[in-house]
Amino acid sequence: MSYRPLRPGRHGTIPIRGLEHHFIRWGPDSEDPVLLLHGFADCAASFQFVADAIDPELPLLAIDWRGFGASARSPGGYWFPDYYADLEVMLDAFCPRGPARIVGHSMGANIAMIYAGVRPARVRSLVNLEGIGLLRTHPDQAPARLAQWLDGLRGPMAAGEYTSIAELAARIAKRNPRLPTAQTEFVAACWSETVAGGGVRLLADPAHRRTNPYLYRREEMEACWRAITARVLLVVGADSELLPRLGPEGGVESFKAIVPGLAVEQVAGAGHMLHHEAPRAIARLIEAFVGTTLP
């Protein structure tokens, strides 16, 4: 049996820079919610496990990034700076009373970290769940990267389709063996929609998988991180699959040298998908770190 939410969320939509965005609220309505930002190929709904484990009086708001979950797709493709602009509008709409409290996972945490350095006055606390950037690139990688991008434009990206929720859940379980079966099936349902014939298709726009023609310039990201004034908690999984791939670049010690006043927590028995695998531990860390609602 699939996971049954203890505290079902309240769903809504909001236009953000020309695209309808889907969001979910848990807890009291508030103009100072904890904003939950999901990672690549994930969606707002999979924060349900954390919402069920957290203090019910803490207001939460999770939103689907453009082209993920139930948010509209971008016909012009996806460019990372758009997420910073989208986040700014989200803060205008959902956190009008003052600096925001943000929890971001992976891509969502990377977006929040850059934004917090660019707009330091707009973020007061940030829980970073394994948003540790990408490997440093070099200029001589540009020709091959641009060629790969051009090749990818020759045709549409194939949609991720599966014969059933069970097949998709089995795929998720293979990549994430620590996740219990019920939670795996719930995540599979959050990530997909039913198609004709009984199969399912991933909600994430397949265009997200296109190669980015621009190299990731870690030096620029680090310059933004150094400008952060918010309190930042970096949370990593003891069994993270991501950290070893990044080597010293993604190490906790390298982050301590860059992010002012960084606090660090390691969660035992969890990998990169911390909010899926260890929601109670993540809930306790969020409660302790984000502080109280603005008076």
What is the tens place of the pLDDT at every residue in 207-217?
999 999 999 99
Q: Go through 245-268 and write b for each residue having 16 or more CB atoms within 10 A of its CB, e for each that does not.
A: ebeebbeeebbeeebeebeebebe
* Number of neighbours of residue 79 by Cβ within 10 angstroms: 12
Is the predicted pLDDT of residue 294 greater than 80, yes or no? no
Is the residue at 200 inside a domain? no
Give the residue numbers spanning the domain of 107: 10-137+214-290
What is the tens place of the pLDDT at every residue in 90-146?
999 999 999 999 999 999 999 999 999 999 999 999 999 999 999 999 999 999 999
Is the residue at 228 inside a domain? yes
What is the tens place of the pLDDT at every residue in 215-237?
999 999 999 999 999 999 999 99
**3-state DSSP call for residue 220?**
helix
Is the residue at 36 inside a domain? yes
Is the predicted pLDDT of residue 58 greater than 80, yes or no? yes
What is the tens place of the pLDDT at every residue in 152-187?
999 888 889 999 999 999 999 999 999 999 999 999
- Give the model's pLDDT for residue 188: 96
**Residue type (1 letter), 66:** R
Q: Are residues 204 and 236 in contact, defined by beta-carbon separation less than 8 angstroms? A: no
Is the residue at 276 inside a domain? yes
- Give the model's pLDDT for residue 155: 86
- Give the model's pLDDT for residue 198: 84
Is the residue at 82 inside a domain? yes
What is the tens place of the pLDDT at every residue in 22-33?
999 999 999 999
Q: How many domains does the chain have?
A: 1
Is the residue at 153 inside a domain? no
**Residues 76-99, mean pLDDT to the nearest whole number:** 96
**pTM for this one?**
0.96
- Give the model's pLDDT for residue 174: 92
pLDDT band for position 197 (cuts 50, 70, 90): confident
> Which of 8, 12, 23, 11 has the alpha carbon at shortest distance from 87?
23
User: In the beta sheet, which residues pair with residue 14?
Assistant: 21
Which is more confidently placed, 254 or 10?
10
Name the percent of the chain lying above pLDDT 70: 99
Which residues lie below 8 Å from residue 180, measured CB to CB, with a gap of 6+?
none
- Give the model's pLDDT for residue 1: 67
We report the CATH number of the domain holding residue 88 as: 3.40.50.1820
Structure tokens that stand for 145 in this block: 């990267």
- Give the model's pLDDT for residue 243: 85
Give the mean pLDDT of the chain.
94
Is the residue at 267 inside a domain? yes
Is the residue at 177 inside a domain? no
